[in-house]
Amino acid sequence: MKLESVPKPTEGMEAGGQIAKPAAVTASKTATAPAKAVADGSWAKKRIVIGKSEKPIVPAGPGLRLETVLGADERTRILETKDAPWRMICALAIEGPWGDFMGTGWLAGPRTIITAGHCVYETKQMGGWAKKIVISPGRSGDELPFKSVESDKFSTTNLWTSKQDPDFDMAAIHLKEPIGDNVGWFQVGSFPDEQLQNYMVNVSGYPGDRGEGKEQWWAKNRVRAVTPRRIFYEVDTFGGQSGAPVFIYEAENTPPIVVGIHAYGVGGTPNNIPLQVNSAPRIISEVVAQIQAWIDQDKAGG
């Protein structure tokens, strides 16, 4: 089934109304990060991981447990949230029909936030479409180094709204203001299986168990498995980090490239993947095209 965009219905419109046509794929990467998002990159503080590794990062402490934090918790709080790439990662305060929730998003363009589909549309716990979301780039506790904005305009995929298919658990939050012009945005990339395998990935977001969704926490490790639409990695995460960017650096002094949209803990790992890993819907060529379509839509004021 073809990947299509499903916007949040306006009042009186049924879900699945107007469909945005994906843009043509012209390259394996799109939405190049502005130079300012790289020049002061705090990866130079020896935190960000780069390239590939045949060996895992082995945490100290007890063995693996059946939680999303894989053994000893290796997450580190990010305090330099005014720096790139951390400032391009946003805390999400989500108001749903049945209550309030937290999540993570990241800038893919001046007015486009990418996140997990279940951060904007979820039927079992949230009660359907989110009513509104407050987006805070680079939040650090009560400190808001950049302007927070609010949106009630969202899009997700047809296979998320119709089937809650975890391979298609991705969404866009559409903004009225071009906050990305101030903080920058991520590049996204589609890579072949063999290139992603063992790549060292970074995942940073706003977990509920640390700072109640107001503090940014980061961890790193390698990709352990790849399927046509998912990537699986040994990186510690927790609820609230759904929607976080799974990003790589190909080399030093290159921009970060998002290769997945974090969405699941070990409970979301299929039975045919015999590993204790977390996972993300994968950025493949048609996902690149859909993200570009959302960016173009927002640039046009759609």
pLDDT tens digits, one per residue of 219-252: 999 999 999 999 999 888 888 999 999 999 998 8
| Residue ranges covered by each domain of the chain | 36-83+186-285
> Mind listing the pLDDT tens digit for each residue in 165-189?
999 999 999 999 999 999 999 999 9
Q: Is residue 153 predicted with pLDDT exceeding 80?
A: yes
SS3 sequence of the chain: CCCCEEECCCCCCCCCCCCCCCCCCCCCEECCCCCHHHHCCHHHHCCCCCCECCCCCCCCCCCCCCCCCCCCCCCEECCCCCCCCHHHEEEEEEEECCEEEEEEEEEEECCEEEECHHHCEECCCCCEECCEEEEEECCECCECCCCCEEECCEEEEHHHHHHCCHHHCCEEEECCCCCHHHHCCCEEECCCHHHHCCEEEEEEECCCCCHHHCCCEEEEEEEEEECCCEEEECCCCCCCCCCCEEEECCCCCCCCEEEEECCECHHHCCCCCCCCCEEEEECCHHHHHHHHHHHHHHHCCC
Query: Which pLDDT belongs to residue 37?
Result: 54
Catalytically active residues, by annotation: 118, 242
Q: Please tell me which residue, 76 or 302, carries the higher pLDDT value.
A: 76
pLDDT in tens, 91-123: 999 999 999 999 999 999 999 999 999 999 999
- pLDDT tier, 150 (very low <50, low <70, confident <90, very high otherwise): very high
pLDDT value at 162 more than 80: yes
What average pLDDT does this structure show over 30-53? 53
pLDDT at 25 over 50: no
Among 3.40.50.2300, 2.160.10.10, 3.40.640.10, 2.40.10.10, what is the CATH number of 36-83+186-285? Answer: 2.40.10.10
